[in-house]
Structure 1
Amino acid sequence: MPTDPQTDHRADSRSPWRVRDFRTLFTATTLSQLGTNVGYVAMPLVAVAALGAGPGQAGALATLSTLAFLLIGLPAGAWVDRMRHRRVLIGADLARALLCASVPLAWWLDALTLGQLYVVVLLTGCATVFFDVGSQSVLPHLVGRDALVGANAAVVSLQAAGNVAGRGLGGGLVQLLTAPVAVLCTALAHLASALRLLALRGGTAPGPAATRTSLRARIAEGLRHVLGNAELRALALTASLTNLGSQIVNTLLPVLFVRELRLPASVLGLYWAAGGLGLLLGARCARPLAARFGHGRTLALAGPFLAPAALLVPLIGRGPWLGLAGAGWALTMFKTGMDNVLGVSLRQGMTPDALLGRMNATFRFMLTGALAVGAALSGLLGEVAGVRPALWTGGALLAMAFLPVLLSPVRRRRTLPGQRPAPATPAPSRRAG
């Protein structure tokens, strides 16, 4: 694709795949994502099929699986900044492997209880907090700041593919091998990821420990870095609104599909798969579009063009309305895929090495908090106003989520901080970012 000399930067021509440690991290993340997505399907089915859990107990299990991000999300960032990233990642994977392996073991011994499942999902969530924060924090060290867009595009594409393929595999494993054995497969995937991470060598040193500050002071420093910066604050608000709207919609879609429209669950799966495909395509298109139009411009201007498609989602019905709503959801997820690549790259590029863990933890805390609020709000709106008004609320939030970024200095940014400039050309004009 031809590019403007002002936006064609060498960072985008540098492939992160040339970096051995990035290939190691990507392979380990692939295994970890596989385990996580299989467990996403298998763990609640263990509760329902093997232990006879009811709706309230299944809901408590789902809540505990994300509670860790709210409980330890902020201090985890401060801890990760003072630890060796390689040890954090390996330790998190080993912890998840042991915790998940305890489920089929207890099942075989006829000692499995719902209480054990609650503890396992909560502690597994804690380990996931450390893995997610650590992997995002180590990435700039491994590939360099000028290759972040390509590296994040690969990781987000992997996550999108994992959401589609990994959960499908989880359902197949449960069908063939029973839910507890599928959880054992989750444990083996995390163990394989930990073993792969043993080959990780570079960019894993902890931050300087010369100054002794309290945990509270380090957390506050991370919060000030994110909320005190206009660009980072806008990215956090847009991502939080996106998560809030998405969670309201996704929580109520099963009710709408199965109870009101009386459509089979397979149709809901296809609908969600369309969103996963949009997420994947958005992640793959983010890099070339940013090279063509500029990093911030792509982030800001994609909103007015793509975000209103979310208003098609509440129109879900039978016949052509289902296809129209599916197309709207795919376009909404296309934008989310682009945002994930470019937004994560920008926030990593704007953050000093010593603050990467706390910055990532602050974003995780806000984004996961939005998911928790969205789940609760969807239930409340669904009970008080009905499913359709709740879906319109979620669609409206998704349609307007781009506004913080559009109204911020992000829209004027053409390159990432720290990117190497383009090779010299005759008297190029450069615009300040």
Structure 2
Amino acid sequence: MTGVTGNRGLLRRDRDYRWFWAGHTVSVFGTQVTAVALPLVAVLTLGGGAGAVAAISTAAFLPNLLLPLFAGHWLERRRRRTVMIAVDLLRAGLLAVVPVAWACGLLSMELLIGVALATGAASVVFDTASYAYVPSIVDDDDLPAANRAAQGSATAAQVAGPGLAGGLVQLAGPAGAIVVDAVSYLASALGVAAARRPEPAPETPTEAAGFFDGLRPIVTNPFLRALTVHAAAYNAGFQILTVNLVIYVVSDHGVDPGLFGLALSASGVGAFVGTMCALRAAAVLGYGRAFAAGLVFSTGVPLLIAVLPGEGATLAAGLAVCQLAAGFGLGVANVLSVTLRQTVAPRGTLARTGAGYRLLIYGVIPIGSAAGGVLGEAAGSRVAVALGAAGMALSILPMLTRRMRRLRTPEDAQAQAVRHS
């Protein structure tokens, strides 16, 4: 890799990555639509309440706690492109069950929960395979640009996906929205299948890989360790803040729910801008300094939320500015994080290390949610928001070491990791 900006025009000149990116983009939009559309089916078709929505959302998230290590261990011996195509077809088939059951009068809450659980598990496998596949489909020089494009798609899906799901339900009805969602996964499979660049055969291990081997590089590699500790602490703090933010802003300070949602969406706008600026910032400042600068925004700005002045629309405007700035930093950090992890991890362990990372950073989310509830009840929503933001701010500490700050390119980290081992 000759630099951190990558070559220009990757999507224009690289047919194989362009097709893969198109499939990936449709897939992440489909995942976002599924997350909203399935609960809407429960509410609008089956008359479900908050408990039903919570059960479906929990079922969709649960595989992130149980499955990553299994998926990473299994994928290390297999070609990832073939797996991704199969998983997309599986997700399309699973979602097609919902409108068929509705048409036959067999739709039930238990069925929706089962579909949410199965599609969530399939998405874990797809995401783990995709993370390990990207370095094999592009040249090393293009890896940062490839990750920028993929992160841009993911950010756009997070911003537009819920609105797209709501619009589909409005136009086609709950069952019709699920049909469209199922078709989106077929389109994703076609996009991934059209990427014809030969994928290297999986490496034959010299010794049997243990189930927990995906965690070993995270513990021993100083860069992977710092990234994981930061992300886990950030996610825990973010959950504490998020659980209490709606109470603090809407219930305690009279912000209209619509304004609250609009303020939160500013984070996605900021993240998209940050994603597009990440590689330029790394080229100008150096990789480590650009990463740290992004984290100053993403972890520091939320500290202002608990002290924002005003009520109603005034508070919503202040929250939107905070979300915009924090989202910008998060967009920068996400692009640089993915490329750094893919560069320093041994190529033969990408699926396992990616899965181990996913397990650790998502495993803290239910802990953060529970802690947020306890803190909100015990100390009030404002204090809990402040404590969650403080946890996010402290998460920057592992990323401020001299080793991390002085990185000019991801290859510098790779060389240091080799010497460290």
Alpha carbons of 1:8 and 1:126: their partners in 2 closer, same or farther (altered >3 Å)? closer
Q: 2 CA distance for matches of 1:203 and 1:61?
A: 38
Residue identity matched to 2:243: T
Q: Deviations over 1:282-315 (max 9, x none)?
A: 1111100000111112112443466321112224
Instruction: Say yes or no: does 1:96 pair with 2:91.
Output: yes
Q: 1 CA distance for matches of 2:171 and 2:241?
A: 31
1:255 is matched with 247
Instruction: Say yes or no: does 1:267 pair with 2:262.
Output: no
Give the match's secondary structure for 1:178: helix
2:224 is matched with 232
Deviation at 1:340, TM superposition (A): 0.6
Instruction: Say yes or no: does 1:406 pair with 2:381.
Output: no
1:322 is matched with 316
CA contact under 8 A between 1:42 and 1:183: conserved in structure 2?
Answer: yes
Q: 2 CA distance for matches of 1:243 and 1:103?
A: 32
Alpha carbons of 1:128 and 1:255: their partners in 2 closer, same or farther (altered >3 Å)? same
Worse overlay, 34-43 or 399-408? 399-408
CA contact under 8 A between 2:136 and 2:200: conserved in structure 1?
Answer: no
Instruction: Say yes or no: does 1:353 pair with 2:360.
Output: no
Q: Deviations over 1:379-417 (max 9, x none)?
A: 222223222222112211222221111126221211112
Alignment of 1:41-120 (within 5 A): 41-120=36-115
Worse overlay, 271-280 or 58-67? 58-67
Matching residue within 319, 332, 340 for 2:334 = 340
Matching residue within 372, 378, 381 for 1:378 = 372
CA contact under 8 A between 1:311 and 1:328: conserved in structure 2?
Answer: no
1:24 is matched with 19
Q: 2 CA distance for matches of 1:396 and 1:122?
A: 33
Q: 2 CA distance for matches of 1:62 and 1:265?
A: 21
CA contact under 8 A between 2:4 and 2:279: conserved in structure 1?
Answer: no
1:181 is matched with 176
CA contact under 8 A between 1:315 and 1:325: conserved in structure 2?
Answer: no
1:3 is matched with none
Give the match's secondary structure for 2:411: coil
Residue identity matched to 1:111: L
1:127 is matched with 122
Alpha carbons of 1:287 and 1:210: their partners in 2 closer, same or farther (altered >3 Å)? closer
Alpha carbons of 1:250 and 1:261: their partners in 2 closer, same or farther (altered >3 Å)? same
Aligned residues between the structures: 413
Worse overlay, 247-256 or 42-51? 247-256
CA contact under 8 A between 1:313 and 1:326: conserved in structure 2?
Answer: no
1:145 is matched with 140
Residue identity matched to 1:12: G
1:154 is matched with 149
Give the match's secondary structure for 2:204: coil
Deviation at 1:261, TM superposition (A): 3.4
Q: 2 CA distance for matches of 1:203 and 1:220?
A: 29
Q: 1 CA distance for matches of 2:49 and 2:378?
A: 23
Percent of residue pairs bearing the same amino acid type: 37
Q: 2 CA distance for matches of 1:411 and 1:67?
A: 35
> What is the TM-score with the length of structure 2 in the denominator?
0.92
Deviation at 1:152, TM superposition (A): 1.0
Worse overlay, 152-161 or 255-264? 255-264
Q: Deviations over 1:313-365 (max 9, x none)?
A: 22454243332222122211111111110011001011222101011111111
Q: 2 CA distance for matches of 1:75 and 1:305?
A: 35
Q: CA RMSD in A?
A: 2.4
Gap regions ≥5 residues in structure 1: 1-6, 421-431
1:222 is matched with 214
Q: 2 CA distance for matches of 1:326 and 1:380?
A: 26
Deviation at 1:225, TM superposition (A): 0.7
Alpha carbons of 1:268 and 1:319: their partners in 2 closer, same or farther (altered >3 Å)? closer
> What is the TM-score with the length of structure 1 in the denominator?
0.89
Runs of 4+, deviation exceeding 6 Å: none
Q: 1 CA distance for matches of 2:413 and 2:283?
A: 12
Give the match's secondary structure for 1:110: coil
CA contact under 8 A between 2:298 and 2:327: conserved in structure 1?
Answer: no
Give the match's secondary structure for 2:255: coil
Deviation at 1:268, TM superposition (A): 2.0
Instruction: Say yes or no: does 1:394 pair with 2:388.
Output: yes
